[in-house]
Chain A
Amino acid sequence: MEKLTNRSRVVSDKKMTFLEKIYLPAIIKGMFITLKHFFRKKTTINYPEQKREFSQIYRGQHVLKRDDLGRERCTACGLCAVACPAEAITMVAAERKPGEENLYREEKYAAVYEINMLRCIYCGDCEEACPKEAIFLTDRIVASQYQRLPFVYGKELLVEPLDPDKRIDVSVRQTDEVRDFKLNKRFAHNK
């Protein structure tokens, strides 16, 4: 049979010679390889101080956006949860009370919105499914934890801060289609 590669070696148990028995040449050879790596370009970086460049559409920790008036866009329609292949999203809806119009955009809102970051596979299907432009994946990394429970992110971690300076910019993440969709007045339900 023809070999696929020339890297295969036939195993044999032939007796080692004296040079092989003292192992010194092999050790020196190994040390030399190690030494060679000292002078190579490092492939690692000092992470917290140095950071790698991220793709603009890196899919990391989610954000629940607010609209221009600071109201939560999410209306707990459940499409993200049903689109989620890992079933990482759960939510409980509630009705907006009179006087809460400055907090929530629609008459229904998510009272509880949880994403299990251990389950999430960061595929971005929730972002794609969202009809209200509410959920986006960002280039933030989900912080590591010692316990499993803190990985279930609730609204306090997901909803972006009300402070206009601390808002999370997702403008680069919105594709042309999404931008068109928002500007197109034929889709009046998205105002």
Chain B
Amino acid sequence: MPLLKLTIDNIEVEVEPGTTIMNAARKIGGHVVPPAMCYYSKLEGSGGKCRTCLVKVSQGSFKDNRPMPKLVASCRTLVQDGMVVQNTTSPEVIENRRAITEFLLLNHPLDCPVCDQAGECHLQDLSYQNGLEETNTDEARRTFAPIDIGNLIKLHMNRCILCYRCVMVADQITDSRVHGVLGRGDHSEISTLIKKAVDNDFSGNMIDVCPVGALTDKTFRFKSRVWFTRPFDAHRKCTKCSGKTVLWMKGEEILRVTGRKDKYGELEEFICNDCRFVYKQPKDWEIEGPRKIERHSVISQNHYEKLDNEENEDKIEA
């Protein structure tokens, strides 16, 4: 099959048939990549729920050059030959993204000062990017009675944006899914049917895939804010997973262990619960070195880096 040609924000790219617009944009990289709250490249069938990645298709293909009538979800729309896509160049898309962000925040409690996800929360980033610092609604936010889903993972249903990522992790990574989404519409919630503990060797990955603070590490709960900890790449020999993790340390203490996330906030590899929750001593790990954190992230605050190597000099000049 020949490669398909498409244009995103006036940048041409050739991709294989069957690629989504999102992945074509990620091939280009940079600002043309639409934000995604629910799409997760490592999870089959994810995407299409949050609508933050909507883009405008101003030309369907070479054969049929009419624009698509509505904005389309870039994570679920396949590329056609000769497609012309507008992401940040279309005011309609930007306006729409603002509105979607507002919708996502309708029921999201603004408890960032309490939430452990603050500082690495995708919804926080999204609302900052879209400049939404106030809400237009008066109505009470939807609240749920707290549900206990085990002693390793803390569920805050109030913060959930129903991206279904955690359900898919449980479905695809673990061998027995014990939780899902109950109810419909405004009342839908992530829950385990019989309040049965989520008990599986890979259940901890739900914490990492959650874009907001709905699922957080109970062993890390209120221990420290993310930006007071120092992330280190580390690995250990593990029979269940690759053992490649990030240790979030404060002094000599390992406060939290997570998987390694790429620039789209997606895990490079899923890690097992032993690595995540059990081994919390520095002697259990082989530390490779400090993890690079993007400069605009709050996590990089007060982390001083030497600026004398060549790589950094390039950055300063640029």
Contact = CB atoms under 8 A, between A and B. Distances in A.
Interface of A: 75-79, 81-82, 87, 93-95, 106-108, 131-132, 184-189
B228 A189 contact: no
The 8 closest A-B pairs by CB, nearest first: A77-B113, A189-B110, A78-B225, A93-B222, A108-B114, A186-B134, A75-B113, A82-B301
B136 A78 contact: no
Interface of B: 109-114, 118, 134-136, 138, 141, 221-225, 227-228, 298, 301-302
B222 A77 contact: no
Is chain A's interface secondary structure helix, strand, loop, or mixed overall?
Answer: loop
Nearest to A181: B134
B109 A189 contact: yes
Contacts of A106: 111, 113-114
Nearest to A131: B113
Is chain B's interface secondary structure helix, strand, loop, or mixed overall?
Answer: loop
Contacts of B224: 93
A186 B113 CA distance: 17
A87 B228 CA distance: 11
Given A108-B114, A188-B110, A189-B110, A78 B227 contact: yes
B96 to A, nearest CB: 22
Among B111, B136, B223, max chain A CB count under 10 A is at B111
Given A78-B225, A106-B113, A108-B113, 15 more contacts: A75-B113, A76-B222, A77-B112, A81-B228, A82-B225, A82-B298, A82-B301, A93-B225, A94-B222, A131-B113, A185-B138, A186-B136, A187-B135, A188-B135, A188-B141
17 contacts: A77-B114, A78-B225, A79-B113, A82-B225, A82-B227, A82-B228, A82-B301, A95-B221, A131-B113, A184-B134, A186-B135, A187-B134, A187-B135, A188-B110, A188-B141, A189-B109, A189-B110
